[in-house]
Structure 1
């Protein structure tokens, strides 16, 4: 199996003794957990100096907490060691609160277990049709290894986004924007493993593979324009683009552009857009599987982010309140750039199933009934990856094949029905509680 530039690294990895491989994976899981813990406490809207990599002496404390911090011993090398460090940092309970160290410890320990188990499942062909003979599945070990490392990156970003969303009901752009760009890059350089003949024989594409449905029209100028439009829409959606119509159209346009350029970050966003437009055009000129991979990733971005954005717009209009945070839109766009449009659809519809367990656990631990949607999307994505064969090959593939061009119209119809139901619900509540 030809994996292009990944051939040698993957071959070296698969040649390692299994005990050494598992040890490296466990250490890698701990390192991912440590990085996620640092991001969770420092990249959020209201950072907290819980991370052992933050110096307490440099933090801006009020008088009461400054006195507590000055009375604590300085953080040492051993405090920064994963797992062990959190046990040592229990001495800072008076500063951060009781049990602050438990969740970070469990995140690192959980990933130390999850990453090796995930690697084993991927190597054993978890994402491949289980009807395939074992010797055939074994031939895909190099590809599944590459797929594992890519999904491990996605998992790390989803872990950080999940717990920040739990804490603050927000998802930082610092995670989702670079994550989306990384997903597009990986899709461009990932080799095409399943030729059309193999797909016709029943081997459907796994996630991070070029999905079915990208016909020859995507190799034309029309396909390029579509991808450029998706990229432009994504960049524009990240801008501060609020429209205020209270003082007429001319003032609305004036305020719109004033808000758009109010913060200097618009220059960075404009630079990302320009570089992206050039990069997409270059990959189109290269053509071949690189272009199909990028186009597939952009389509996943559009479908993943578009589903959540559409529901956000319809729900907010019907209920006259924010139905879903925009961080959920950027999160699902990032996920879509990694797993493609079919898996994005599956992940979105599996999210409510995962929500049941998450809501129960969160209410049991915090008594908080209000839960963010981002963790559900991440959990739905994990379920999609683990049960990809059952989700896609056994169910979604046939549905997509039968509906074809009707699928977008069905989505629009369902959005209309959702808006109508929410509008009716708001009307009934107004009449009852008026």
Structure 2
């Protein structure tokens, strides 16, 4: 990057991200009044590995390269730094959410402002334009429709796509939160999740954010069951799944956006009725409403399934190992002795 060997650039970004990830997580843990413990090191390692991987994915494999957006070389490289900042913010938010089911304002609100500021100043950091209609494409004759003002006013366009992403990300999450409260009497997500997706939208734009929002329930279903069985937790916050879905979109955007599926055996790319292309849905208002409906319904169903999830039987006493024959001082125990006794007291239904 910037004429540096790719490996050197990846190492530099990883080192800076590790330091930033540790510092941001440390500050967030102070805000929630929790000891940092091993979370700081875990955040530093996670940020370093993810940002180094993103550097290679963006610059060597072109994981976000599409015909829609062809940035100048300077801003193509700067996108690595811009999105690495997002990864550091996601890591810090995930750490506090896993530790205390709380996402701090000190992470997401500055993150939203940095996303807006970077997009506006550069005018060329977008993953996808704020509006592009692939339904008007004529193969080999005309490309997708893109409003002229975007090229004439790149900085205004930068503000537009970032602000739209912020509003869509926060708006989708808040809508699901409100609907689940109304229908089921239980919030599917906290307000921290609303701000988290607003931050994601300010960095990536509304289309990638909407896709990440739709993918998040799938991440929750696939990961959450194993976490329940192995981790013995009654409640798993939703923020980490939103972050995981965001990372999936960031690393696979090219293949998601350019995905085409033939609906018949003899379907061709020119036959739009026989070929499904995800990018065309984002140029059609009816399709966009369908995406919103799918996201809302999917998350409400997930909330219902979470009640069944809590009924999965787990041996709560397995974390207590057999007591050693030798005595040990009470203060050396990892948990208070009275708590251990309370957990093992028989209830009224136990046999004598």
Shorter-chain TM-score bucket reads 0.5 to 0.7
Alignment partner for residue 116 of structure 1, among 52, 66, 78? 52
- Partners of 2:226 and 2:180 in 1: CA distance: 26
Give the counterpart of 1:391 among 253, 256, 263.
256
**Matching of residues 14-413 of structure 1 within 5 Å:** 14-18=2-6, 20-44=8-32, 47-50=33-36, 100-101=37-38, 103-124=39-60, 125-129=62-66, 141-192=73-124, 206-207=127-128, 209-212=129-132, 288-360=153-225, 362-363=227-228, 366-394=231-259, 395-401=277-283, 404-410=284-290
Deviation digits for residues 359-407 of structure 1, max 9, x if unmatched? 2563365311421111111111100011101111224212223xx1213
For normalisation by structure 2, the TM-score amounts to 0.67
Q: Provide, for residues 316-355 of structure 1, a one-character-per-residue CA deviation record: whole Å limited to 9, x for no partner.
A: 0001232321111111111111111110111111112322
Distance in 2 between residues matched to 1:406 and 1:19, nearest whole Å: 45
Deviation, 1:18, is 4.9
Give the 3 Å change call, closer, same or farther, for CA 326–218 of structure 1 in structure 2.
farther
| Aligned partner of residue 127 in structure 2, secondary structure | coil
**By how many angstroms is 1:14 displaced?**
2.1
Residue-by-residue CA offset, 1:275-302 (whole Å, 9 max, x unaligned): xxxxxxxxxxxx8111111111111112
Rounded to whole Å, the distance in 2 between the matches of 1:185 and 1:191 is 10
SS at match of 2:258: helix
How far apart, CA to CA, are the structure 2 residues paired with 1:377 and 1:424?
Answer: 18
For structure 2, the residue ranges without an aligned partner over 5 or more in a row are 134-144, 260-276, 306-352
Residues 215-239 of structure 1: CA deviation (Å, up to 9, x unaligned): 65989xxxxxxxxxxxxxxxxxxxx
Contact 1:296–1:341 (CA<8 Å) still a contact in 2? yes
Measured after TM superposition, the shift of residue 174 of structure 1 is 1.9
For the aligned residue pairs, the C-alpha RMSD in angstroms reads 3.5
The number of equivalent residue pairs is 275
Distance in 1, matches of 2:303 and 2:238, equals: 21
Structure 1 pair 22–186 and aligned structure 2 pair: CA distance change class (3 A): closer
Q: Could you tell me which residue of structure 2 aligns to residue 235 of structure 1?
A: none
Q: Distance in 2 between matches of 1:413 and 1:120?
A: 35
- Tell me: CA distance 1:218–1:312, structure 2 relative to 1, closer, same or farther (3 Å): farther
Contact 1:39–1:160, Cα closer than 8 Å, also in 2: no
Residue in structure 1 matched with residue 324 of structure 2 by the alignment:
none
Distance 1:331 1:379 in 2: 12
SS at match of 2:205: helix
Q: How far apart are residue 417 of structure 1 and its match?
A: 5.9
1:231-279 CA distances to partner (integer Å, 9 max, x unpaired)? xxxxxxxxxxxxxxxxxxxxxxxxxxxxxxxxxxxxxxxxxxxxxxxxx
Cα distance in structure 2, aligned partners of 1:418 and 1:361: 20
CA distance in 2, matches of 1:303, 1:332: 8
SS at match of 1:14: coil
Structure 1: 5+ residue stretches without partners: 1-12, 51-99, 194-204, 220-286, 426-434
State the distance in 1 between where 2:289 and 2:52 align. 42
Give distance in 2, aligned partners of 1:370 and 1:121: 34
What TM-score comes out, normalization by structure 1 length?
Answer: 0.56
Distance 1:107 1:218, change over 3 A: same
- Structure 1 residues 191, 106: CA separation in 2 closer, same or farther (over 3 Å shift)? same
